[in-house]
Homo-oligomer: A and B are copies of this chain.
C-alpha cells in the first residue's frame, strides 16, 4: 500500500461482548491434551469404533447399535466410486490435470454434485414421507404409491430415487435392502419405496426404459427407517464419494500427462479383472 494521505488508525468503539453473541456447539470439546467427541475421548474411540461408526456418533450424538453400524458401513461403501462416468469425477480430473493440490481437486469434485447429481437423497426422503403421510391417513401402500407416481407424471418428473443412466437394475440397492432385512431394520420407508417400484414396473410400457430403485433411493429409504434425518443423509452421501473423487484425482496426477484435454469416451480400464472376495472375507 502506498498511501499519499497519511493513514489513520480509527479506534473502533470498544465492542462489548454480549450474552447474545454466544453460540453453542455440541460436537467436539477441545481441552489441553484432550479431544472429546460427543463426550468420548477421541483416542479411546481409536481402535474401538470403525470410521463408519465414528461418523454416526459425530452426526447423531450416540453410538450406533451393531446392526445400524453395519448398515452405515454398507451405505458408505456402496457409493464410494462409480468410475469415470460422473461429472463430479470429471471436474476433479480436469482440476488435477492442471497440477492443482489434491484438496482443490476434491473440492472441485464435490461442487459437481448438483440438482441432477447426488441431489436426490433429500427429495427422496421427502417423497417417501409424503407417501407415508397418505398411509397414516388411511391409504394402502399401493394407493399411496400410485398417487406419488401420478404426482410425478403431472410435473413430468422422474420419481426421486428411481432410474439410472447406466444400470437397468442397481445391484447396490438390492444388496442394501437385503442387508436391512437381515439386520431387521427394514420398516415403512423401505416398504414404501418398494411399493413405488412395483407400481412403476406395472406401469412400464414394453420398450420403455425401466425405472428401478437406484442407490440414492435405497440410501434414502434406509436412512428414513433408521432415523437419520434428510440433511444428515445428504452429508453421508457426500462423505461416501470423497474417497472416489480423491482416488481419481490422484490417479490422474500419477498416470497422465499434465494439461491434457480429458475426453471421457477415450478411456480404457486396465485394472484387475473381475474377482471374488477370499473365503475368510465372506
- Give chain A's interface residues, CB within 8 Å of chain B: 1-12, 15, 17, 21-30, 32-52, 54-55, 58-63, 70, 72-74, 76-78, 80-85, 87-88, 90-91, 94-95, 97-108, 110-119, 165-172, 174-176, 179, 231-232, 234-235, 238-240, 242-244, 246-248, 250-251, 253-256, 258-278, 281-282
Give the distance to chain B from A157, nearest Cβ to Cβ, in Å.
13
Closest to A178 in B: B47
Give the distance to chain B from A52, nearest Cβ to Cβ, in Å.
5
Give the distance to chain B from A259, nearest Cβ to Cβ, in Å.
5
Q: Evaluate contact between A274 and B30: CB separation under 8 angstroms.
A: no
**Residue among A4, A97, A179 with most chain B CB within 10 A:** A97
Closest to A169 in B: B33
Which residues of B sit under 8 angstroms from A278, Cβ to Cβ? 63
Q: Evaluate contact between A113 and B91: CB separation under 8 angstroms.
A: no
> Which of B39, B59, B76, B172 interacts with A273 by CB under 8 Å?
B39
Q: Evaluate contact between A175 and B104: CB separation under 8 angstroms.
A: no
Q: Evaluate contact between B117 and A27: CB separation under 8 angstroms.
A: no
Give the distance to chain B from A213, nearest Cβ to Cβ, in Å.
13
Q: Given the interface contacts A25-B271, A83-B25, does A51 sit within 8 Å of B52 by beta carbon? A: yes
Q: Evaluate contact between B52 and A259: CB separation under 8 angstroms.
A: no
Q: Evaluate contact between A5 and B111: CB separation under 8 angstroms.
A: no
Which residues of B sit under 8 angstroms from A234, Cβ to Cβ? 102
Q: Given the interface contacts A42-B77, A94-B112, A172-B43, does A106 sit within 8 Å of B238 by beta carbon? A: yes
